[in-house]
Structure 1
Amino acid sequence: MKPNQQQPCGADGKWQLPQQVSMTALQLRDWLEYPGSLTARLRQHCQQFSIQVLFEGYAEIANHELKTLACAGPYWVREVLLCCDGEPWVFARSVIPKSSLEGDAAEVSRLANKPLGELLFTDKGQRQTLELAQIDQSSAIYQHVKDPQPLWGRRSRFLLASAPLLVSEIFLPSCIAYQGESGVAAS
C-alpha cells in the first residue's frame, strides 16, 4: 500500500505523565493507560482489523519528540490509521532514529501494512515511558476526523532490541475508547 500523504501529520499536544492528567472519562483513561498491545486490544473489538499507511519515510520531527527520544537523527517516520471494520479508530505515529534501523530492530522499516505492535510486544520490545496528551486543535491529524472533537492520545518510548523508538497513538472519535464518555478535561 502506498502512503497517500506527502508530509507527516505529527502528534502535537502537551504530553504529560499519566498522574499529571486530570480526567473524568474512566473508559478513555483505561484505554490511554492500557499496558499491553493496543493492536491486540483493538482486534478484540472488531471483526476485521486493518492498517492504512499514510506516510513512511525520513522526515523532520518536533522538538518535543527530539527531547523524548534523546537520540540523534535522521528519523524514519511512519504514520498509519488503525481501522476496525473499515472505520479509522487510531492514528499512530512512529519515530525511529536511523541508528535504530540496524541490527535486530531493522524490520521496523519494512512493516508495510503490518502493525508495529506485533514487534514491540515480543521479548525484543520494552516500554520505557508513557505520556498522555490532548492533541492540539491545529494538528494535521484532524484532517482524518469527520466530526471535530477533542482528541486524546498516548505516547510511549520503547526499546526494540535495545534500539529506541517513539510511538504516539491518537484515539479518533469513532474509537470505542470514547463511547459513553463525556466531560473529558485536562489539567
Structure 2
Amino acid sequence: MTRRLRRYNHHLSVQLLGNRAVSLTVDEQALVAVSAPVGMCREVILHGDGGPAILGWTLFAEAALQGGGLQDLGEQPLGERIFGDAPARRDHLQLACFEIASNPWCPAATVWGRRSRLFLGQWPLLVHELFLPSLSSHSLPSDKELE
C-alpha cells in the first residue's frame, strides 16, 4: 500500500498516534502468536496529497519490538520495513465496510478497510487499515494488490 500511495502522491507522511499495550481478543492472540491477553499496538495515519488517507493500527507481540526492530520505526511506514527488508508474507486477509463517526481525520462516513496478517521475519503482525474518504480513487489498491 505504501508503494502505491508514494506512486500517486507527491507527499506521503506518517503521523504516529502512539505505541501502547492493549488487550487482545482470543482471535487476535492466535493471529499474533501470543499466549497472554496483552499485546502491543502501533497507531498511525498516512497522509497523502489530499490529507489523511489511511488510519492504521498494527497489533503484535511485545517481543517483536526488539526482535522485529519495531522499537525504532518511528514515523517510517511499516510497509517499507516489511516489504523493503526481505520477501514478505501475507495471509488472513479480510475486507469490511465500516461506519465511522466524525473525528479529527475525517467527517462521518462509510469507509472500506482491511485486516491482514503480515510477517516481519518470524514476527506475525496483525495490520488494520481504514481507507479514509480523502483517499482518491487513483490511490486505492488494485484487486491484485489486495491479494
TM-score range relative to shorter protein: 0.7 to 0.9
1:129 paired residue among 64, 69, 92: 92
Write the letter of the residue equivalent to 2:93: L
Q: Distance in 2 between matches of 1:135 and 1:55?
A: 22
The corresponding residue for 1:24 is: none
Deviation at 1:136, TM superposition (A): 4.6
Decide which of 113, 117, 123 is 1:163's aligned counterpart.
123
Whether the 8 Å contact between 1:119 and 1:125 is mirrored in structure 2 is no
Q: Deviations over 1:128-155 (max 9, x none)?
A: 22111112546xxx52443311011111
Determine the structure 2 residue equivalent to 1:98: 62
* Aligned match for 2:82, one of 104, 112, 120: 120
Unaligned runs of 5+ in 2: 140-147
Residues 132 and 61 of structure 1, relative CA distance in 2, 3 Å threshold: same
1:109 equivalent in alignment to 2:109: no
Counterparts of 1:100 and 1:176, CA distance in 2: 33
Which protein has greater RCO, CA pairs closer than 8 Å, 6+ apart? 1
The size of the alignment, in residue pairs, is 137
RMSD between superposed Cα atoms in Å: 2.3
- Structure 1 or 2: larger strand share? 2
Q: Is 1:83 aligned to 2:59, yes or no? A: no
Aligned match for 2:10, one of 36, 47, 72: 47
